[in-house]
Structure formats: structure tokens, C-alpha cells
Amino acid sequence: MRMPSVSPELISPRSARVSAARRLAKRNFRSKDRLFLAEGPQAVREAAGHRGADGTPTLVELFATTEAAERYADIIGEARGAGARVHLASEDVIADISTTVTPQGLVGVCRFLDTPFADILAARPRLVAVLAHVRDPGNAGTVLRCADAAGAEAVILTDASVDLYNPKAVRASVGSHFHLPVAVGVPVERAVEGLRDAGVRILAADGAGDRDLDEELDRGTMGGPTAWVFGNEAWGLPEETRALADAVVRVPIHGKAESLNLATAAAVCLYASARAQRAFGGCRSVTES
């Protein structure tokens, strides 16, 4: 059902509510308020349907142009049903809050989602992505999306990685922020130690690794609980981080490409583990009879 056309309620970017939302583009205000922005229909839809571990709705507030409110009436209804304050706003207001060049007319204010690392360990995860030294928010969000698609049970961002709630990271995840537990600010040494104690094998993804991903699959070693550690976009993983892993694995390059970017390599590694874990008895060597 289409909503009736109405005049925007918030006509000035100087509104106190708009100012409070606008400042969430900056990390220090996000950390202070423990709130972040979710933009566009996909992210807002996921936020509207999400609740925290204690049952508290994640979506606190929603700004929408009248056109977007009519087009996405179901999202508006779900947001209101979740108890979020919904504000009809002018396009200028949306543009002022949004961090994108071409806003889609919906901007949500959401509560932080991060999960305590201890809770992730207690759930005994079988597939985990650890982002160590990942500084680009777009890459972080894309790896989170890949982990979600591959069926990972958790993602961990170390204290040396980018802010989970950076608007670029939220956009790049395309709603995956709301799908799986994410722990933030965990020192890489603590992450590795905790996961290993929980029975998880630690694999560091590195182009200079001494193990080959195809060979690991053929050996049948990847069917058990696994955490992949991914490093910096430009210089990979430092030696001290590689040394923490049970194995350092490279994605084989069969063609002439110099390398794979971080998100592509992460997708390959995570899906390799997902396939191995779902195979009957794990992946076995192709040479076995």
C-alpha cells in the first residue's frame, strides 16, 4: 500500500535531530553515542528487522524522503513496528546526513552491534574471519559480506583494523553487518589464542605462504573448525602475525595476474573452507580411489 503524499517534517538541516545524525559520520561521535548510520533500502530493511541479544531493536531512528517512504512503504512500516522514530525529510536533509554522493532516500540510525569475543568463543564457531591490520573500510565491509555469504559464524576485527561502523564499511557489507556476530578491538594475539583454545585451526592467508590452498584441500586438512587471518591490503601480514598461525596459506595464481586483492582472496579462502566443511568426510585428495 502506498503512503499518502505529505510535506516533509524536517525542512532544515539545522534541526537538532539532523545534527545528531549527521555527526555519526565521525568515529569519535559514533563511539561516544554507540550509534551508526545505515543507508539505503537493503541496509535499513535489515536493521529494521534486527534485534540485539537482549531483544532491543537495533534501528533507533529513520529519515526518509517522501518519495522513498512511498516506494519502500513496507520498510517504513517495519521500522515503525520496531519502535523506531520515523521522520519524513526533504532531499536536502537526507543529502546532509548521508555520506554517499547519490543518496537513496533512506538513512537509519542504529545501535552498535558488536558481540563480546567471549560470546563468540562460547558458541564454538566452525568458520571465522579475522581481519588483522585491515585499514580500508570498503575492504572490511566486503570481507564481512563474503564471510556472511560463505556461512561463517563470526568475524573478528583486531585493534589494528578499521572501524566496523565506518559508513563505507557499512555500505560495502550490504546488510551483512546485521547477519553474524562481529567482535571488535581484539588484539590479534588474544584472538588467535582464544580461537585455538576453542579448537579452531588458525590459517593465515598470505601470498608468500609456504602452503598452497589447493594442496591443503587435497590433503583433506580443511574440514575442521577454521579461522582465516587476513592482513593489510598493501603489505599483507607482518611476520609476527604469520608466526601465530598453524599454517600460512597462499591462494595459487594459475594465470598471469600478479596477485589477488584482499576481498577476492578472502572470498576464495572462506569458500574453500565452507566447501571442505560441508563435504562428506571433508575434502579428500583427488588422487584417492
pLDDT exceeds cutoff 90 at 284: no
Give the per-residue pLDDT at 234.
77
Topology match between the domains 16-111 and 117-278 = no
Decide if pLDDT at 61 tops 60.
yes
Average pLDDT, integer, range 100-116 = 93
Of the ranges 189-193, 239-243, 246-250, 282-286, which one carries the lowest mean pLDDT score? 282-286
Stated pTM of the model:
0.88
Q: Where are the domains of the chain?
A: 16-111, 117-278
In the sheet where 127-131 sits, what is the strand order? 182-186, 154-158, 127-131, 226-230, 201-205, 247-250, 211-212
What pLDDT, on a 0 to 100 scale, did the predictor assign at position 285? Answer: 41
The per-residue pLDDT for range 123-168, each reduced to its tens digit, is 999 999 999 989 999 999 999 999 999 999 999 999 989 999 999 9
The pLDDT value given to residue 85: 92
pLDDT at 92 over 80: yes
- The pLDDT of residue 128 is 98
Tell me what the mean pLDDT of segment 191-198 comes to.
97
207 with 251: CB under 8 angstroms?
yes
Angstrom distance (rounded) from CA 75 to CA 46: 9
CATH 3.40.1280.10 describes domain 117-278: yes
Q: Residue 287: is its pLDDT beyond 60?
A: no
- Residue 7 is predicted with a pLDDT of 47
CATH topology for 16-111?
60s Ribosomal Protein L30; Chain: A; (3.30.1330)
pLDDT cut 90: percent of the chain above it:
77
Share of the chain above pLDDT 70, in %: 92
65 in Cβ contact with 8 (< 8 Å): yes
Can you give the pLDDT at residue 181?
95
| Window from 94-103, 142-151, 181-190, 200-209 with minimum mean pLDDT | 94-103
pLDDT in tens, 5-34: 444 565 567 788 899 999 999 999 999 999
Q: What is the pLDDT of residue 12?
A: 67
CA atoms within 13 A on the CB side of 132: 28
d(CA 151, CA 12): 43
Asked if the model's pLDDT at residue 55 lies above 50, the reply is yes
Taking the CA of residue 212 as centre, how many other CA atoms within 13 Å lie in the half-sphere pointing to its CB? Answer: 7
Q: Could you tell me where the DSSP H helices lie in the chain? A: 16-22, 27-33, 41-48, 66-71, 73-81, 91-97, 117-122, 137-149, 167-173, 188-197, 213-219, 239-242, 262-278
Q: Give the model's pLDDT for residue 1.
A: 43
How much is the pLDDT for 236?
81
